[in-house]
Structure 1
Amino acid sequence: MTAAPGTPAAFAAALRAREQLVGYWSVLDSPVSTERIARLGYDYVALDAQHGLIEYSGVLASLTAIDTKGSTAVGLVRVEANDPSPIGKALDAGAAGVIVPLIDTAQDAADAVAAVRYPPLGRRSYGPMRAGLRIGPDPADAHEQTVVLAMIETAEGLANVTGICATDGLDGVYIGPSDLRIAIGGATSTDPAVTAEFEAALVTVRQAAAAAGIAAGIHNADGASAAKRLAEGFTFATVSSDLVHLQQAAAAHLAAARATEDSR
């Protein structure tokens, strides 16, 4: 039986099949706005618990909001560290998967996988307080319905990407473009001086993932950039963030409102 669209099972199956998926990034502790975003047609909404402004209670509330009636998306969480505690808490709260930062080696990736999987496949502690209502709750079912993604964002991670992608149980890799650009020598997160090296790094990651048969994703500043990366061969792409779009929309409306005033 095929899982219903918008469910963790359907999302996990699509991601592992390397189908193209589009997501949205959330850094604000605003479950009401996150709920609206989850109804727009995105395949996932990723909550940023590393650099975002969301504490655990906010993650829990936003995951609940993402799962409300009419949602097309599942909730992912970028956890604060490659550690069993935040990974387990995000999954117990109902995340359909975790994005784990700063993966430098295949061992780092294996540790992330172990934190997501129950024994004997891993070392996740059993206690799906909210997740059990929607994911699993039996370990075998939870394994099928929950994904783990490793971030490639350091020079060491890039150098070891082939081994990382070959890690048993890893579902995909996810490029953090700002950190990766700095890691390869950029003076800033958008430094154009290292564009050639950056683009070559993206090809390296994408090809390593394809060779291993796992998903390859990347964060993007806007939808057009996401479309470009998907056309290049990435299998999932995330668009901007709620905070960035709030600022952009507010600035655009302010400029429009003052246009007549400025023309006097």
Structure 2
Amino acid sequence: MTLAEKLRSGARTVGYWVLSDNPQAVERIAGTGYDYVCFDAQHGLLDYRAILDGLTALDARGCAGLVRVQDNRQFWIGQALDAGAAGVIIPMVNSAEDARAAVAACRYPPVGRRSMGPVRAELRFPTTPAETDAAVLCLPMIETAEGLENVEEIAATPGVDGLYIGPSDLRLGLGGATPDDPAYDDVFAAALERVRAAAASAGVVAGIHTPSGDGAARRFAEGFTWVSVASDLTHLEQAARSHLGTALG
């Protein structure tokens, strides 16, 4: 089963989030059993070469790759898909118009306006445009108050495969003083439920970013079917600190 088939089916799907340029580490992470690895081109320390090397490393382990692109623009989306990404997570989608633009950038004519030039992607996906369209994922993010207000229309946009919640930005957008402001727990919980309901009504999946395995398990228990665990830099620091603490007693 491909990543697109698994995620669209609503089967439990879990990925790992990568911020750093380290294809050898990516290759090791890909062998641990995650459904995908996502390269963060928006906030990560990754240029195009790093994303290309990372996707190539994933191929060695038979793991799918997603890319959170820099922006909702044709160039960034097309570049990530041409490099062989199985789909893109698109930040700051605030309206149905934004969602339609994202879909158009992911799909070939006549459905969209993606340019034919798959380069590495043709090694991984069918080169027939319609088959390729079916094989890649278009995943807008809901991370602003405006996006939440328009979430039903965004979810219902033809060609959208799922909604991905950016919890830190969404809580800030709803008025939180910090990305984990406890004063906004109830408001945030209601926002998550609205996103889940909008996705279910539109027949697409709802996903969310989580900081840990515990956080991912909690989101699965709440009804999400798709989560990412973040991130390589955070977990490297946590592991290093833990070992240092153990060594020093």
TM-score range, shorter chain: over 0.9
1:45 is aligned to 37
CA distance in 1, matches of 2:72, 2:203: 23
Structure 1 residue runs of 4 or more that deviate by more than 2 Å after TM superposition: none
Name the residue aligned to 2:201.
211
**Bigger Rg over Cα:** 1
Among residues 202, 219, 231, which one is paired with 1:241 in the alignment? Answer: 231
For 2:129 and 2:208, locate their aligned partners in 1 and report how far apart those are by CA, in whole Å.
Answer: 29
1:147 matches 2:137: yes
Q: Which amino acid aligns with 2:163?
A: V
> Within 2, Cα distance between the matches of 1:65 and 1:150?
25
Aligned partner of 1:158 in structure 2 is: 148
1:186 corresponds in structure 2 to 176
| CA shift digits 1:34-80 (9 cap, x unpaired) | 11111111001110000000000000000010111x33x31000000
* Residue in structure 2 matched with residue 200 of structure 1 by the alignment: 190
Structure 1: segments with no counterpart, 5+ residues: 260-264
Quick one: distance in 2 between partners of 1:95 and 1:131?
Answer: 7
Question: Are residues 1:118 and 2:88 paired?
Answer: no
Query: Tell me, which stretches of 5 or more residues in structure 2 are unaligned?
Result: none
SS at match of 1:57: helix
Aligned to 2:125: 135
What is the distance in 2 between the residues matched to 1:149 and 1:183?
20
Q: CA deviation at 1:16?
A: 1.2
Report the residue type matching 1:231 in the other structure: A
> Can you list the C-alpha shifts for 1:107-152, whole angstroms capped at 9, x where unaligned?
1001000000000000000000000011121111111110010000
Q: Could you tell me how far 1:11 is from its partner in structure 2?
A: 1.1
Q: CA deviation at 1:32?
A: 0.4
2:8 pairs with 1:24: no
Is 149-158 or 223-232 further displaced after alignment? 223-232
Residue 89 (str. 1) matches residue 79 (str. 2) = yes
**Residue equivalent to 1:230:** 220
- Could you tell me which amino acid in structure 2 is paired with residue 65 of structure 1? A
**What's the counterpart of residue 262 of structure 1?**
none
Instruction: For residue 148 of structure 1, give the secondary structure of its aligned residue in structure 2.
Output: strand
CA distance in 2, matches of 1:149, 1:240: 18
> SS of 1:67's equivalent?
helix
TM-score by length of 1: 0.93
Percentage of matched positions with identical amino acids: 56
1:172 corresponds, among 155, 162, 185, to: 162
One-letter code of the match for 1:46?
Answer: C
